Structure 1
Amino acid sequence: MANLFRRALPVHTAIGLWAGALLYILCLTGMLIVFDEEWQRWEQPDVPEMTAIAPAAVQQAAVNVLAAEAELEKRTTHLFVHLPSGALPRTIVTTDTQAFHVDGAGRIHGPETNSWTQFLLDAHYYFHLPSFIGLTLVGGLGVMMVALAISGILAHPRIFRDAFRLRARAGDRLALTDWHNRLSVWTLPFGIAAALTGALLGLASIMAVGMAETFHGGDTEAVFAPIFGEEPAADPAPAALPDLAGMMEDMAARHPDIRTSYVILHDPATAGQHVQLLGHPPRRLIFGEYYGYDGAGNFTGTAGMADGTVGQQVSASIYNLHFGNFGGLPVKLAYILLGLSLTIVSGSGMSIWLAKRRQKGLPTARLAGFWSAIVWGTPLMLALTAAARLVVGGGTAFAALFWAGMTALIIAGILMKRPRQMTRYLQCALAVTLFAVGAGHAIWISLTMSANPAGMPLWLDIAIVIIGLIIWWFSLRPRANFGSHPVPGAVSAQSPS
């Protein structure tokens, strides 16, 4: 039995390390995609921008895009029109197969090529795995985060009493432990809310499949119908496009205080087509309310996201609560800071464990090298994919580049005998890459976008450069402790709080 336990220990350690690595990647990418709309503007700045678009132009945009779809073999079943908003002042028409930017008159400007932003979103949603598997994995990690937050509080009875005790100048492990514990307390409500909502979003698919098999004969649409409404019966007979402009005007007359963000056309150019306008009631956390119209332009009612059952309203609020899509830029900045804190907590926990192993005389070099590759290699590879987007273009296989690079860095970290040196190399490489990406993008914008200087928020480039400089300064410090194990003389025998 003792031999069995000894053999199981490396497996247990490996599972813990990989789970911690995925959790760290999840937190880091989650922090970044809070600015997903800003990243879209950053990635494709040469696009017509507007504060609003006329209903007649929306109608013309739908006609133009569906005419482009006619050249394809497969007819689209949905057409989405993203209307200009404060964070993304662009009109984008999306079908099942492609997406286009349109100008203020509804003319097609060109294809949407936000492949790097989509790469970021897919990394957080699915880890670039098949959607069902990826969502389930992400949901499971959300459950683990909730368990870690609660168990961490229970395991440290003094954690609230010492909420403002920070030994920043103590040895590496003590300082890191204090940062870990303090940030855990300060961000506890956000951490639990983000983890719980992430778990619900991630596990919704697997729960829907189970409920569909049990109660609805495998029909997953029937599971979501009480929340999002039922789909009308399809009728594939050809028909003229509905009057989208008239519906938008009717919506504005019915609800002048509600901003419409999407026009969604189901089964376009068929007798069974119908339209939903996604509106945002003021001072509500819900992602929006669906206002329905039939093919003839008659108002058919709402889905109930704003005034339906409590379950509907709660379900409609989970997405915005998780991603911070409410309250504008101030809320986004708060979510960035809280997300950064959560990322530091997730990364520092494993670093503290490695420091304790080293203090006990246990081997840590390979484990520390692995963790250094995760903590500093992940942002480095994300920055390198952004650089590839600028240099090569939107056709780059970003997911393949990212995971191939991560694999190479992990192997190098495990094989390298001095993990602290590995950490410093990665920090320097990250700093240089960030500086090059931010400065290079700003120069590109200034040289090519004189006719449309508002097409890209330059403050994002400034922030990228500043972060690169901070990391460069951090890498030159005598002791760069995050993501590596401490030097022998830096470990104190004092127990952490």
Structure 2
Amino acid sequence: MSGPIEPETVKKSLSAHAAIGLIAGALLYIVSLTGTVAVFYQELQRVEQPYAPEMRSISPEAVQRGVEAVLASEAGKPTTTHLYVHLPDEELPRATITTDTQALHLDQDGSIAGPEEIDWSDFLVKLHYTLNLPALVGITIVGILGVMMLVLAVSGVVAHPRIFRDAFRLRARNGNGIGLADWHNRLSVWTLPFSVAIALTGALIGLASVTAYAIAADDYKGDVEAVYSPVFGEEGKADSRPASVPNVANALSHMARIYPDVHVTYAIIHDPLTKGQHVQIVGEHDRRLIFGEYYAFNSKGGFDHVAGLADGELGQQAAASIYQLHFGTFGGLPVKFAYFLFGAALTAICATGTYIWLGKRRRRGVDEPGIRGAWHGIILGTPVALGITLVARLVIGNHFPFAIAFWIILAVAVLAGAMGMRRNAGGQKTASSPVV
């Protein structure tokens, strides 16, 4: 029969348990903070590259010239599977063409103005989406964090039956952490609808990919596109035989003529320069949460069909509404500022929640100065790392290892916080020890 577990082993196990909780809390905090900043993704692009050509609109003929010029510049490069034309809008009045290998701004006449240089903005969004991990792994982890956030929001309400009655009650700060707990609870109540919406939509977006892969493997012989086609429309049959540049201008002219109230945001060419190519136009509808409707055209610009995201099955409309609800890309700047404020509150909730948890452990006699210091490093190090990488972008340039620099800076901050807190705790113990 084995003997009792050594106290030191128990202590190490508790520390490991706390460290795992700290990692989960840290990821929640990073995702919340980056999501809050990424609300202004379009505006950050304009800050990052202020001299790119801007325009209120661009003609279909100019777009066609731009598409032809960009595809001509692709000669000798790996064949691109999709070409995206971002059309000017109020929030980002720029025309930009993106392929699998490059992104280029267009002038008003459709000529190539130069490369798009928004690596820091893209780094920020990827950090929020995938934590800079491989896409499927990262977005799945972020989806799980969304589920965790949803559970925390709901369980927090259930665990505090007086939480709504005390919605505006703030007690004085004291050594027991009551003031911090009150702020945590008040912010949780004030932002509850926002937190639930963000957590739920984040979980749906994050787990959609892994769910689609699982369904595809089980029912569609690994064809992921077949899973999405009932919602977003079919891709069409591939035919790799070469073909001339598709007529995007005809498709855009058709939209202006037949759908004048639809604000066109993107023109997408699937499998460009092949016989299987086709054009897809994405158009926003006023006073709707859907990110847009898909309008399908053949390679000559002839209209084919509408996907039905605006008026199809309720499931289609709901799926198309998740993105704007999560990222706050509806309603212009007022909605963005509201999302920024609520996001900042949600980030504070993530930060204070772990402080409260660590404080309770400490009052129960489980004092872990290293873990408390590491949490200080996460809370302060994350915005500092984001700020340093942004300064590096503005001073050094676009081609900077933003993700590597961010994680190195954050790791240094965590280690410095842990070591500093341990050193201080050791010094306090030594100072309070009796002199023999």
Q: Which category of TM-score, normalised to the shorter sequence, fits these structures?
A: over 0.9
Please give the residue correspondences for 1:400-415 in structure 2 after superposition, counting only pairs within 5 Å. 400-415=404-419
**What is the CA-CA distance between 1:333 and the residue it aligns to?**
0.5
Please give the residue correspondences for 1:413-492 in structure 2 after superposition, counting only pairs within 5 Å. 413-417=417-421
Identity %: 53
Give the total of aligned pairs: 420
Equivalent in the alignment of 1:42: 47
Equivalent in the alignment of 1:158: 162
Q: Which amino acid aligns with 2:218?
A: T
Cα-to-partner distance string for 1:425-453 (whole Å, 9 max, x where unaligned): xxxxxxxxxxxxxxxxxxxxxxxxxxxxx
2:312 aligns with one of 308, 311, 315: 308
- Contact conserved, 2:19 with 2:371, CA < 8 A, in 1? no
**What is the CA-CA distance between 1:168 and the residue it aligns to?**
5.4
Equivalent in the alignment of 1:429: none
Where does structure 2 lack aligned partners over 5 or more consecutive residues? 426-436
Q: 1:279 to 1:168 in 2, by over 3 A?
A: farther
Correspondence 1:63 to 2:68 = yes
1:357 aligns with one of 354, 361, 385: 361
- Partner SS for 1:334: helix
Equivalent in the alignment of 1:231: 235
Equivalent in the alignment of 2:36: 31
1:270 aligns with one of 274, 291, 295: 274
Correspondence 1:371 to 2:375 = yes
Please give the residue correspondences for 1:218-257 in structure 2 after superposition, counting only pairs within 5 Å. 218-257=222-261
Equivalent in the alignment of 1:113: 117
**What is the CA-CA distance between 1:381 and the residue it aligns to?**
0.4
Q: Which amino acid aligns with 2:24?
A: A
Structure-2 separation of matches of 1:417 and 1:151:
32
Equivalent in the alignment of 1:130: 134
1:183 aligns with one of 182, 187, 194: 187
Q: 1:111 to 1:172 in 2, by over 3 A?
A: farther
Q: Which amino acid aligns with 1:385?
A: T
- Contact conserved, 2:170 with 2:182, CA < 8 A, in 1? yes
1:11 aligns with one of 6, 12, 16: 16
Q: 1:172 to 1:261 in 2, by over 3 A?
A: farther
**What is the CA-CA distance between 1:233 and the residue it aligns to?**
1.1
- Partner SS for 1:236: coil
- Contact conserved, 1:372 with 1:419, CA < 8 A, in 2? no
**What is the CA-CA distance between 1:356 and the residue it aligns to?**
2.4
Equivalent in the alignment of 1:21: 26
Equivalent in the alignment of 1:399: 403
Equivalent in the alignment of 2:351: 347
Q: Which amino acid aligns with 2:310?
A: A
**What is the CA-CA distance between 1:419 and the residue it aligns to?**
8.8
Equivalent in the alignment of 2:394: 390
Cα-to-partner distance string for 1:171-195 (whole Å, 9 max, x where unaligned): 5722211110000001111101100
Q: Which amino acid aligns with 1:36?
A: Y
- Contact conserved, 2:246 with 2:300, CA < 8 A, in 1? yes
- Contact conserved, 1:368 with 1:419, CA < 8 A, in 2? no
Structure-1 separation of matches of 2:176 and 2:16:
28
Q: 1:218 to 1:2 in 2, by over 3 A?
A: farther
- Contact conserved, 2:247 with 2:301, CA < 8 A, in 1? yes
Correspondence 1:52 to 2:60 = no
Q: TM-score, normalised by structure 2?
A: 0.93
Cα-to-partner distance string for 1:56-85 (whole Å, 9 max, x where unaligned): 110111011111111x33121211110001
Where does structure 1 lack aligned partners over 5 or more consecutive residues? 422-497
Q: 1:168 to 1:91 in 2, by over 3 A?
A: farther
- Contact conserved, 2:97 with 2:103, CA < 8 A, in 1? yes
- Contact conserved, 2:372 with 2:421, CA < 8 A, in 1? no
- Contact conserved, 1:92 with 1:102, CA < 8 A, in 2? yes
Equivalent in the alignment of 2:208: 204
**What is the CA-CA distance between 1:307 and the residue it aligns to?**
1.1
Q: 1:168 to 1:241 in 2, by over 3 A?
A: farther
Comparing 202-211 and 4-13, the one that deviates more = 4-13
**What is the CA-CA distance between 1:238 and the residue it aligns to?**
2.3
- Contact conserved, 1:277 with 1:290, CA < 8 A, in 2? yes
